[in-house]
Amino acid sequence: MQHLRDAQAEKEKYYWNTAVVFIGRDLNKAHIRYLENRFVEIARNSKRYLVLTKNGRL
């Protein structure tokens, strides 16, 4: 939701067009950080996506 609010407020300089959603009772911050990093790694290795993060291009 934070990314949506930032995009609507024009705080984000880039926009995303794909989202992955996980819902579960067992998800915690560590799980979420792992999943996010893993998906970024998969997207980058596939060479089919331009991956942008607040730290720059990946």
> Any bridge partners for residue 56, and if so which?
53
Looking at residue 16, its pLDDT comes to 67
Looking at residue 45, its pLDDT comes to 93
Contacts of 42-48 with CB under 8 Å at 24 or more apart are: none
Q: Which of 37, 32, 42 is nearest to 55 (CA)?
A: 37
Looking at residue 36, its pLDDT comes to 86
Looking at residue 12, its pLDDT comes to 61
Over residues 4-48, the pLDDT tens digits come to 677 677 666 666 677 778 788 888 989 988 988 898 899 889 988
Looking at residue 58, its pLDDT comes to 44
More confident residue, 43 or 57: 43
